[in-house]
Structure 1
Amino acid sequence: MHAFQTFPIEQFDMNPFTKIGKEWALVTAGDKNKCNTMTVSWGGVGVLWGKNVVYIFIRDSRYTKEFIDNGEFFSLSFLSEEHRASLQYCGAHSGRTDNDKWANAGLTPEFRHSIPYPDEANLVMLCRKMARIPITEDTFLDPQIMERWYADHDMHEMYVGEIIEVMAR
C-alpha cells in the first residue's frame, strides 16, 4: 500500500481538460467483496448544489455502471504516465468477462472509507453519488452528437458526485 495524504480541497489545483480529457482517469466502484474500475475521459469538476463535485459519463453497457448504480460511493483516480498501459487496458477490457482485470491491468485495489481505488494512483477523489442523469436523444440540441457518438444507441448517464476527500502523494 502506498502512502497517501489527504489534501485540502481549497488547495486543489488541476487542469481538467488535461487531467481528464488527455491523461484520462479511472472510475472505480463496488466494495471489498467485488469492485470494478474503468477508464474515463469525459467529465469534469466544479461546484453544483453548493458542493464541490465531479461529473462523469458512463455508457449503459459498461460493467462498472452496475457497481456505481448499486452503491453510494465511487472514486475518480489519476495515474502517472508510467501507468498509461493500465489505463488503456481498463478502457478496452470488461470486468464482466475478465475475472482478473485488476491484475491484468497491473493494478491493485485499495480502500478508504470502504471506497475502492487503484493503489497505483497519484491523485484520488473519493465521491458520494448525488445524481444520475440519463442522456437521451431528445436532450441534444445539435443533431450531430447523436450521429457521431451514439449511432449504436449505447447512451451515457451522467453521474454527479460530491468530492468528500482528496488524496494525493
Structure 2
Amino acid sequence: MKKLSIFLTAILLLISGGKIYSQATQSDSFTDIFKQIDVKEIPENVFKLVGTDFTVITAGDPSLYNSMVASWGGWGILLEKPTTWCFLRSNRYTLEIMRKKETYTMTYFDDQYKKDFIQFGKKSGRNSDKMKENNLVSIQTPSGNMTYREAKLVIECKLTEVTTVSPDDFYTEAGKKFVVEAHAETNDYHKIVFGEITNVWIRK
C-alpha cells in the first residue's frame, strides 16, 4: 500500500506540475477550495501570469456570465488603490457585462487547463453557447463574482475607469497600426479598463 501511495503521489505531481492541490468536488464551497491573501502576497510574477499563463476575465452572475482570454494588462497602484488594467477590444461581450455589473474577476490557471480556457477566446458568447461548451466548472465567490473551481489564482475587481485609446496616444507605428486596424473591424477604438482589486484568492 505504501508503494502504491508513493506511486499515486508521483503521478499527481507530474499532472499538477509539481503541486498537489486538494481535490475539489461539486459540493465544495468557494472557501473550501480557495483561501484569501493580501494583494502583496500574490505568489507569481505579473509578466508570467499575464504574458504566459494568460488572464481569463469573467463578468456576470450565475444567471448570465461570460469569460474571455486576455494577454495584455497588468496591475499596480492607481488613486492609492491596488488596481488591475487590461487592454480590450471595444466589442467584447465580457466588457459589456463588466460595464453593467461594475465587478469582475481576473483568473489564472496552471498549464494543464490552457486547452480548456483558451476556448473562451475563440468566439463570442453574445451569439453562442460557448460558456456551456467547456470542461471548466464555474463557481461564485463570496462577494458574488464568477470564476472557476480549477483556478490557481482569482483576483476580484471593482470597475473604476474605462478609457478609449486613440492612434494619437501611441508613439510607435506598430501601436498606431494596431488600434487603427482594430477600429476598422469594430468601428470603435480599444478600451483600457481599470479595476480596483477588492479580493485575492489562491488555491489551498
Answer yes or no: same fold by TM over 0.5. Answer: yes
Give the number of the structure whose residues are more often helix, by fraction.
2
- Preserved contact between residue 102 and residue 108 of structure 1 (Cα < 8 Å): no
Change (3 A) 1:149 1:28: same
Partner of 1:43: 73
Question: Cα offset for 1:149?
Answer: 5.0
Partner of 1:15: 45
Counterparts of 1:146-165 in structure 2 under 5 Å?
A: 146-148=176-178, 150-153=180-183, 154=186, 155-165=189-199
Partner of 2:200: 166
Q: What is the number of residues matched between the two proteins?
A: 168
Partner of 2:140: 111
Question: How far apart, in 2, do the equivalents of 1:104 and 1:32 lie?
Answer: 16
Amino acid at match of 1:20: V
- Preserved contact between residue 25 and residue 87 of structure 1 (Cα < 8 Å): no
Equivalent residue in structure 2 for 1:143, among 158, 173, 185: 173
Change (3 A) 1:151 1:121: same
Question: How far apart, in 1, do the equivalents of 2:79 and 2:43 lie?
Answer: 21
- Preserved contact between residue 45 and residue 52 of structure 1 (Cα < 8 Å): yes
Give the structure with higher Rg (CA). 2
Amino acid at match of 2:127: T
Structure 2 gaps, min length 5: 1-25
Give the number of the structure whose residues are more often strand, by fraction.
1
- Preserved contact between residue 160 and residue 194 of structure 2 (Cα < 8 Å): yes
| Cα shift readout 1:74-101 (whole Å, capped 9, x = no counterpart) | 10000110111123211112111222x2
**Structure 1 ranges of 4+ moved more than 3 A:** none
Is structure 2 residue 96 aligned with structure 1 residue 66?
yes
Question: Cα offset for 1:167?
Answer: 0.5
| Cα shift readout 1:25-72 (whole Å, capped 9, x = no counterpart) | 100001221010000100001111101111112101211111011112
Structure 1 gaps, min length 5: none
Does 1 or 2 have the higher relative contact order (CA < 8 Å, sep 6+)?
Answer: 1
Question: How far apart, in 2, do the equivalents of 1:73 and 1:143 lie?
Answer: 34
Identity %: 26
